[in-house]
Amino acid sequence: MRIGFLTIDWIDILDILLVAYMLYQIYKLIQGSIANKIFFGYILIYGVFLVSKALGMEFLSSILGQFMNMGVLALLIIFQQEIRRFLMMLGRSTSFRENALLKRFYTPKVSKENLSTLQSIVEAVKVMATTYTGALIVIEKEDDLKKFIESGDVLDAEVSKRLLLTIFHKNSPLHDGAVIIKGGRLAAARCMLPVSESGTISPALGFRHRAAFGMSEQTDAAIIVVSEEKAEISFVNHGGIFRNMSVQDLEVKLKDYILKD
Ligand SMILES: Nc1ncnc2c1ncn2[C@@H]1O[C@H](COP(=O)(O)OP(=O)(O)OP(=O)(O)O)[C@@H](O)[C@H]1O
């Protein structure tokens, strides 16, 4: 196909579509963060570089060319977190679990027997929300949370309402940080979660919520937050939050997310 002096074949169209898709994914990842502005600044300079090169402006294009070369390295450093998130997202969506054919042979780690575990969690959350007790509970789905479990005090205990209430009681030495539930067991308490740097999180939310967001950006875990200040229950997964939930809604959401593929 010819457009003016340009000859375009289907490979060029595929090339443009792939670049557009990639740019859109990058935009979605960095939306709202400081990296956003840097990214657009870089794209602008790249545009000027391409135009100056096409017009044969030797001096300007060579200066911008040098800048672009160094810029790639600088971008890798600046966008460390975003690149990691992008690769993790890519790895997750292309992993064998997402493959419909292989899915039939895959048995989820969270089985229906864990229904009573979820029940205990919901009952504990109900009490904590009425007593203004802050809590952060992470429930493993399919991504392995080993490295986060190891950041805390490993317990490997049976999940019960009483144990959760004891852990998050403000005088308990274990109340700081998050509790992680793995395979229906309370794997660890006092766990350190990654704090999200997203600029789209409401400034009204503090570090407990930011840690829940961070965890949900890096893994497919379900995270429950009970706010100490507002006694509000939130459910966080895949970088999204459902705030001010009733205990009944939490129960439905939790079962729906954890027990289904
Ligand atoms: N990175 C983290 N990993 C795990 N837990 C964390 C992390 N950061 C903060 N927390 C927990 O959150 C508590 C502090 O919460 P902060 O008051 O900043 O959050 P918040 O979102 O405003 O919640 P709240 O409404 O309960 O006050 C800490 O005492 C700690 O237990």
* Helix-then-strand count for the chain, H and E: 10, 9
Whole-number Å distance, alpha carbon 119 to ligand 1 midpoint, is 24
Indicate if ligand 1 lies below 6 Å from the C-beta of 205: yes
Indicate if ligand 1 lies below 6 Å from the C-beta of 167: no
Indicate if ligand 1 lies below 6 Å from the C-beta of 195: yes
Instruction: Please name the residues in contact with 44: beta carbons below 8 A apart, sequence gap of 6 or more.
Output: none
Closest CA relative to residue 148, chosen from 111, 104, 110, 194: 194
Minimum-distance ligand 1 atom for the alpha carbon of 134: 26
Minimum-distance ligand 1 atom for the alpha carbon of 193: 3
Whole-number Å distance, alpha carbon 173 to ligand 1 midpoint, is 15
Q: In which residue are the tokens 């375009």 written?
A: 8
Q: What is the pLDDT of residue 25?
A: 77
Nearest CA to ligand 1 atom 12: 208
The identity of residue 190, as a single letter, is: R
Angle between helices 80-94 and 58-78 (to 10 degrees): 70
Q: What is the pLDDT of residue 107?
A: 45
Q: Where are the beta strands (DSSP E) in the chain?
A: 2-3, 6-7, 135-139, 153-158, 178-182, 185-191, 222-226, 233-237, 240-242
Q: What is the pLDDT of residue 213?
A: 94
Q: What is the pLDDT of residue 142?
A: 85
Instruction: Please name the residues in contact with 160: beta carbons below 8 A apart, sequence gap of 6 or more.
Output: 120
Q: What is the pLDDT of residue 84?
A: 74
pLDDT by position in tens, the chain (length 261): 676 667 778 898 899 999 898 888 777 766 666 667 777 788 888 889 999 988 988 899 888 888 887 777 877 787 776 777 677 766 665 554 445 444 444 444 445 557 889 999 999 999 999 999 999 999 999 889 999 999 999 999 999 999 999 999 999 999 999 999 998 899 999 999 999 988 788 888 999 999 999 999 888 899 999 999 999 999 999 888 999 999 999 999 998 888 775
Q: Indicate the pairing of strand 185-191 with strand 233-237.
A: unpaired
Nearest CA to ligand 1 atom 15: 208
Tokens at 246, concatenated: 């009733």
Tally of residues, the chain: 261
Indicate if ligand 1 lies below 6 Å from the C-beta of 174: no
Q: What is the pLDDT of residue 110?
A: 47
For a ligand 1 pocket test, name from 133, 192, 207, 226 the mutation site with the most ligand atoms within 8 angstroms of its C-beta: 207
Q: What is the pLDDT of residue 33?
A: 62
